[in-house]
Amino acid sequence: MDSNTQSEKTRVVIAGGGTAGWLTAAALAKKLGPLVDITLVESSDISTIGVGEATIPPLRVFHQLLGINEAEFMRATSATFKLGIQFTDFGDKQTEYIHSFGQTGQSGWLAEFFHFWREAHERGIPGEYGEYCLELEAAKANKFFTSTQNSPLNYAYHLDAGAYAAYLKKLAVNSGITHIVDNIDAVNCAPSGDIYALLLRQHGLLTGDLFIDCTGFKALLIGEALNTGYEDWSHWLFCNRALAVQTELAPPLKPYTVASAHEAGWRWEIPLQHRMGNGFVYSSQFLTDEQAELQFQKTLNSAPLQTIRRIEFKTGRRDHAWQNNCVAIGLSAGFVEPMESTSIHLIVTGITRLMQLFPYRGDATRLRNEYNNQTRAEIEKIRDFIILHYHVTERDDSEFWKMCKKMNIPDSLAERIELFKEHGHAFQKNGELFRVDSWTQVMLGQGILPGSWHPAAKMMSSGQLSAAMEKGKQEIKQRVAQLPGHEAFVSQYCASVKH
C-alpha cells in the first residue's frame, strides 16, 4: 500500500477492552482492515463486567463473518450449547416454560401454527404447544447435535465472558491493531464538540478521527466527555442490581439457561464445561444488598469458586448512541438487563451497523442520524420484550410483583399484548430481533391464552386436525430420540481443558 493510501486511512480509537472493545476491534480489522488504522486502549486496573455469559443465535452468523472456527472458540471459552431459556415462577409461582430458539410447528401463509394449536386445544385434542418445537423438546431431553456443514437445531452458546474477551483480543492483535495498556486521564474535545484526542497517563496524546466508547457503564467518552443524555427506563424495569458468582458445575450439563423469578427480581444459572455461572438480579427498592446476598447464597446449588461480585446498573439508553465523532458500543450505549441474553447481541448489531454506515469522508450527519434511529428502534423493541416477562404475571406474593403487574407499560407493548390476548396474533416487526415464535412462547408461558384465533383453523375437521397435530408431535419425538446427549456431544466436539 502506497503512502497516499496509508495517509487516507480513518484513524479509529477504541476506548476500553472487554467483549465490546475486542469484538469491535476484531470486526473492524477483519472487514475494513485496509481502510482503517485501529488503536485500542484499555486500563490494566479495570475488570470486565463479565455477566454476559449467555448468547443468542445471531452471534453464530457474526462469528462466520469473522472466520471464527466454532469448535476452537468453544474450547477457548469453555462454552456449551444453548437452545433457549427456561423461565421458572414468572407467570406464577410453581410454573415454568421454555423460550426456545426454534420454530414451533408448520405455519401456513394464512395463519401461524399457533392458531391451529389453539383450535386443537379448544377441541380437547392433546398436545402441549412446546411439543411441536424441536429445540424446545431437545432442551428438555438434554440433547444436542451440530456439524460443520449444517445443524438440525437453531442454537447459541454459554461462554466464559473473560475467556471470550481474551480470545477476541488475540484475534484482533493478530489482525494488526495497535494495543495500548494505559489509563485515560482526559478526553480532549474541539470547539465543534468532536473528540480529537485522548490524554493517556503514560503515552500522552492519542489522536483519532473516530472514537468508539467501549468503557461500559462509565461511558467515559459518550457520557462524561460529550454529556450525551440517558433515557432512564427504571420506571418499567425496576431491577438495578446484580450479584454474580462462579460455582462448581452441578450436573447434568443442560443445553439451556435457567432463569428463576424470586420475590424482588430473578436469578440465572448458566452451565459452562467446568463451572456454573450464577447471577441474582434484584431491585434495591425491595431488597437490601445484604438481604439479596443472603438469598442468593441459599439458592446456589454448588460450592462457590470465588467471592460474590455486586454490579449496579440503570436500565435505559443513550439519547444518541453516535454523538459527534464518537460511537458508543455495548453498555455505554444502553442496557436492558440480561434476562434474554441480548447484551452481546447489541454489541454485534452496533458493530455491524457502524461498518455499514462507516464515516470515511465528509459530513457524517445523515449516517449518524440513520445509525441512531436504527439503534433506538432496536433497543426499544428489546425493552418491550423484557418488560413483558415482568408485567404479564399472576404473581401477587410480593410488592415487587404487584407493582410489575399494575405498572403502566409502553403503548407499543400494550398493543401487542392485547392483540395476542384478543385474537392470538403475535408478529415480528421489520428489523426486530424476537420472532413470532418468541413472542408466542413467552406470552403463552406467562399465562395468556387468547380468546379467539384465526378462523382458518376452524375449517379443518377434528379428524384432520387431530391427525396433523399427532403427526407433527411424533416427528419431533423421533428426531429428538436420534440426537446424542448434550454433555457427550460437547465432550466429543469441543472439550476444553479445566484450569
Nearest to residue 409, comparing CAs of 396, 426, 390? 390
- C-alpha cell recorded at residue 42: 484499555
> How many Cβ atoms are within 10 Å of 379's Cβ, its own excluded?
25
Catalytic residue, candidates 9, 82, 143, 218: 82
| Residue 82 bears catalytic tag | yes
In the chain, what is the greatest distance between 2 CA atoms, to the nearest angstrom?
78
Which residues are part of the catalytic machinery?
A: 82
